[in-house]
Amino acid sequence: MSAVIVSGEGSGPLAAAVRAEVGCPPVSCEVRRFPDGELRPIIDNLRGDDVYVVQSTGPPVGEHVVELLLLLDACRRGGAARITAVVPYFGYARQDRRDASGESVGARVMLDAIVSAGADWLVVVDPHTVALEAMCDVPMEMLTAVPVLVDALHDSLQRTSGGRGTGEELVVVAPDLGAAKLAERYAAALGCQVAVVRKSRRSGSEVRLTGVVGDVEVRRAVIVDDMISTGGTVEAAARALAHGGATLEAVVATHGLLVDAAVDRLAKAEVPRVITTDSVVRGLRSGLEVQTCSIAGLLADAIGRLHRGEDLAELHVTT
Ligand code: R5P
């Protein structure tokens, strides 16, 4: 059974890089469009293959979700022997429970749709919540880009500190309670302290702060999160840190969606640089220093191991 990688528009360049690293031959995969916008994928013969469908569900989210589902279905109907959905950025993970009556559990709906479209296996990277696994009816691999980002952050801190190192004066900041565990993982890798900003959300783009827990005064601070969407969370945390006497060095997030006015917002909040990955496709924007680290190597490693039936534990999110 040969390994084959197909992808949609949500991950085109990343999938090409993964394909090159894995060394599998290109397959013809084209997503055509009816005049009304309806998508229609057409994929080469995949009969008997071990197929990896690489597709993030970043913006436009609905379009990329539908494209992912149609690609999975095309692979299944094309006779693939095993289908793995590789969804580096898994949208809808923030909707893992109902906060109010009348809401849906969007994460569960997405997982069910992916499985019923044909996925036998699911791979995601730094999902918003590890609760996804318990909702998923097929085996799921939750990979982490934290080691890749820590390396980039380490280099960046060395550059900006003039070689003073990253030890005692540094603090890793979780911009909300949900990011506290993630902050601990970064802090363990960098050998420094953690602080947590207490936030509550007013709307999809507005957050309210209630304080910072931990010592940030006269420290160099790094904000870490799973994702940056509108930038509201980071903006609020950056202002709280400035108020607390810290110097913000960088913001690190696996998924740099940077939607709407996020770039202007972060620039206004004097965020010096954002370090993120290529998990989602973004347009080029100016006004903010954004360093993008590739997770192609991580995904290629995971796909190689899955194809050979090997363990992926050392690539996983640790909880
Ligand atoms: C929420 O809990 C997430 O971890 C992120 O903090 C949040 O989704 C970021 O969104 P935004 O950039 O719109 O504040």
Report the separation in Å between the CA atom of 264 and the middle of ligand 1, taken as the mean of its atom positions: 16
What's the pTM value of the predicted model, to 2 decimals?
0.94
The ranges of the chain with pLDDT < 50 are none
Regarding the beta carbon of 233 and ligand 1, being less than 6 Å apart is answered yes
Structure tokens at 215: 């010592």
Give the pLDDT of residue 167. 59
Tabulate helix, strand, coil % of the chain (nearest 5): 35, 25, 40
Regarding the beta carbon of 178 and ligand 1, being less than 6 Å apart is answered yes
Q: Is 199 among the catalytic positions?
A: yes
What single-letter amino acid sits at 12? G
Give the pLDDT of residue 1. 87
φ, ψ for residue 130 (rounded to 5)?
-75, -5
Q: Which of 19, 128, 185, 199 is catalytic?
A: 199
State how far the Cα of 151 lies from the Cα of 78, in Å rounded to an integer. Answer: 41
Q: Among 197, 175, 172, which residue's Cα sits nearest to residue 187?
A: 172
Give the pLDDT of residue 128. 95
Of the residues 227, 230, 234, 263, which should be mutated to test ligand 1's pocket, given the most ligand atoms within 8 Å of the CB?
A: 227
Regarding the beta carbon of 128 and ligand 1, being less than 6 Å apart is answered yes
State how far the Cα of 170 lies from the Cα of 232, in Å rounded to an integer. Answer: 23
HEC-encoded secondary structure of 75-88? HHHCCCCEEEEEEC
Ligand 1 atom closest to Cα of residue 233: 14
Structure tokens at 312: 């992926």
pLDDT tens for 23-71 read 998 889 999 999 999 999 999 889 999 999 999 999 999 999 999 999 9
Contact call for residues 318 and 312 (beta carbons, < 8 A): no
